[in-house]
Amino acid sequence: MAKKKVAVAMSGGVDSSLTAATLLEQGFEVIGITMQLTSDVSALYSGDRSCCSSNEANDARRVADFLSIPHYVIDFHEEFQNKVVDNFIGEYLKGRTPNPCIACNRYIKFGKLFNFIDELGIDYLATGHYARIEEINGQFYLKKGVDRKKDQSYVLYNVTAQQLSRILFPMGLQSKDETRTLAEKLNLPVAHKPDSQEICFVPNDDYKTFLLKNSNKNADALQPGEIVSVDGKVLGHHKGASFYTIGQRKGLGIAAEKPLYVVKLDIPNKQVVVGGADDVFSKRLTAVDIHWIYPQTFPLKVSAKVRYGPRIADCVVEELDDEKAEVTFDIPQRAVTTGQSIVFYDDDIVLGGGIIDKVLS
């Protein structure tokens, strides 16, 4: 019987490298693919450590050579620019805070790349994500990774039920510490390579400089304006509302009797609105661009995350239309931020998610 073919999205990091090694050991015919996500080919082999424009291609190729598997670099930079980078800039200029990893997974890894390997007749696509896929009664479900501290199911909610039968997440069955240990035992060239914690296309994680360099400097979101209280009192001034985030306390540059936090970015009026600790909490929101992995019945009682991380809360979801929903939490949530994703769970199963559009109360 011919071996099943699997394409591994190799970023040059330890997770995707061990994914390739693990699947090879399990008997798959493994092909390594690194996505070129910048128009500057020379940058792909620079000394930088980001996942999309760095020395990562060299590291991925070193691992592929070590494992004796073929390795290819595929140019997806135009799609990445259009769907991820431009969206990132556009959302910030609207006073929203996007998650570019979610856009990349939706449009690039499990969009462009998945379609690419499908056309080649490759059976599976594998990545180094810490999440799991489980078949239950003939249906495939996306689940949280075993390592709850590392769990990445939040950024994967846009995968489809049809895709799940052809996606492999070997790292989701173990902890990050186990990954390091196994990589060391196998003598993988990247076993001790540190994880990248930055947005891959934003140099030095300095998104302020990135926005100023790559967008219209006259945009309202980048203009100086007032810092005002929730009741409209002017407390100070800022250099651009987009440089603030909901829930932010430090760096406001204003004196007050009690701690103040950013509660709203009013772009048309060039204002950063601040309030007390209680003002940062919200119980209701609307979400758009909703995607359900399987159809749901409403009202839906579930748990949800409003940002990447372990914090999860019970809520009720009411469908407003096919791609819009209203969510009411049992307990108010801190720093709910437009532009971020809300992801819905039934225990450890990912049901779907959407983009937070409005914070209602």
- Residue 27 CA to residue 132 CA, distance in Å, equals 20
Which of 141, 166, 152 lies closest to 346, judged by CA? 141
Kindly report the number of other CB atoms within 10 A of residue 125's CB atom. Answer: 22
52 catalytic per annotation: no
**312 and 345 Cβ atoms separated by less than 8 Å:** yes
Kindly report the number of other CB atoms within 10 A of residue 113's CB atom. Answer: 21
- Residue 307 CA to residue 341 CA, distance in Å, equals 6
- Residue 25 CA to residue 6 CA, distance in Å, equals 12
One of 51, 52, 101, 104 is an active-site residue; which one?
A: 104
Beta bridge partners of 172: none
One of 51, 52, 200, 315 is an active-site residue; which one?
A: 200
51 catalytic per annotation: no
Tokens representing residue 43 in the block:
């940058």
Q: What is the 3-state secondary structure (H, E, C) of 91-139?
A: HHHCCCCCCHHHHHHHHHHHHHHHHHHHHCCCCEEECCCCEEEEEECCE
Tokens representing residue 119 in the block:
């056309």
Among all residues, which ones are annotated catalytic?
104, 200
